[in-house]
């Protein structure tokens, strides 16, 4: 069952599509053939900017989790033989702090429909019963509906296609590597040891590998969706670094 075929969702998807194409037409006099690609970037930036409050909420929740981690570890040690007492004590701790274990999760879930609709505009071949014209526009001569896998399955891609798609995937992978390094001990996004789980080294390796999943996805999806992914991961990295400086973990963990 295609969720986006449901009438209410299809209506929202169609509205987002027409708004994107309208923006493309507005940009066309200045940017020519690259207007549609520029519209993808502009819309992605607008969506990420609108979701800044979600990032702030998550940063605050992460700081709270790190600050409370030593106290929760002490409760686990104290009530290791009584799970019910541990649960009561933990919930009381969160209540005393005016927060919950799920703080930051609800805003993240609320953003999913918005991100899902925007992403769907970039990958669906048909929207509102008609061909997705966006995917027929080009970036440096390469249609926005072209993917790495599709280009390779059709034979040897031309120079323009290989260059544009290759640079896109390389850029996504580079951002993934920067994100991985930022999460290493001493990195800008590293979690203090006091707030790290027991399996932190293994978890860091797993998270580091996940950073490159986006690069793999960028090889499969159309170029339009690849642009969306690149802008999104780059924005997310910069935003997390800025929010970590605004809501540092070390000071709270120590305090």
- Determine the pLDDT at residue 199: 46
CA distance 43 to 109: 20
- Determine the pLDDT at residue 142: 96
Residue 130: strand pairing partners? 127
Residuewise pLDDT in 10s, the chain (255 residues): 567 778 888 899 999 999 999 999 999 999 999 999 999 999 999 999 999 998 898 888 888 888 888 899 999 999 888 889 999 999 898 888 888 877 767 667 777 888 889 989 999 998 978 899 999 999 999 999 999 999 999 888 899 999 999 999 999 999 988 988 888 777 788 776 655 544 455 555 665 666 678 899 999 999 999 999 999 999 999 999 999 988 888 644 444
The answer to whether 255 and 67 are in contact (CB under 8 A) is yes
- Determine the pLDDT at residue 109: 78
- Determine the pLDDT at residue 81: 86
Query: Can you give the C-alpha Rg of the chain in angstroms?
Result: 22
Q: pTM to 2 decimals?
A: 0.85
- Determine the pLDDT at residue 206: 63
CA dist 144 → 64, 132, 165, 226, 249 (Å): 42, 10, 10, 9, 41
């Amino acid at each position: 069952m295609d969720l986006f075929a449901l009438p209410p969702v299809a209506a929202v998807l169609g509205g987002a599509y027409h708004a994107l194409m309208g923006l493309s037409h507005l940009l066309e006099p200045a940017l020519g053939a690259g207007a549609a690609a520029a519209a993808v970037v502009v819309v992605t930036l607008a969506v990420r900017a609108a979701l800044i409050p979600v990032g702030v909420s998550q940063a605050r929740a992460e700081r709270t989790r790190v600050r409370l981690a030593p106290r929760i570890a002490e409760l686990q040690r104290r009530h290791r033989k009584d799970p019910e007492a541990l649960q009561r004590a933990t919930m009381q701790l969160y209540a005393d702090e005016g927060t919950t274990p799920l703080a930051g999760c609800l805003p993240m879930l609320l953003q999913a429909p918005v991100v899902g609709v925007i992403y769907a505009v970039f990958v669906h071949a048909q929207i509102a019963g008609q061909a997705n014209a966006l995917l027929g526009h080009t970036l440096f001569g390469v249609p926005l509906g072209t993917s790495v896998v599709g280009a390779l399955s059709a034979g040897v891609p031309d120079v323009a296609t290989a260059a544009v798609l290759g640079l896109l995937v390389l850029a996504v992978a580079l951002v993934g590597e920067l994100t991985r390094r930022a999460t290493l001990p001493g990195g800008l996004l590293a979690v203090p040891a006091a707030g790290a789980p027991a399996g932190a080294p293994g978890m860091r390796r797993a998270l580091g590998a996940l950073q490159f999943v986006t690069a793999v996805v960028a090889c499969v999806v159309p170029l339009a969706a690849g642009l969306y992914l690149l802008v999104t991961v780059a924005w997310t990295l910069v935003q997390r670094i800025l929010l970590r400086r605004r809501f540092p973990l070390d000071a709270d963990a120590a305090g």
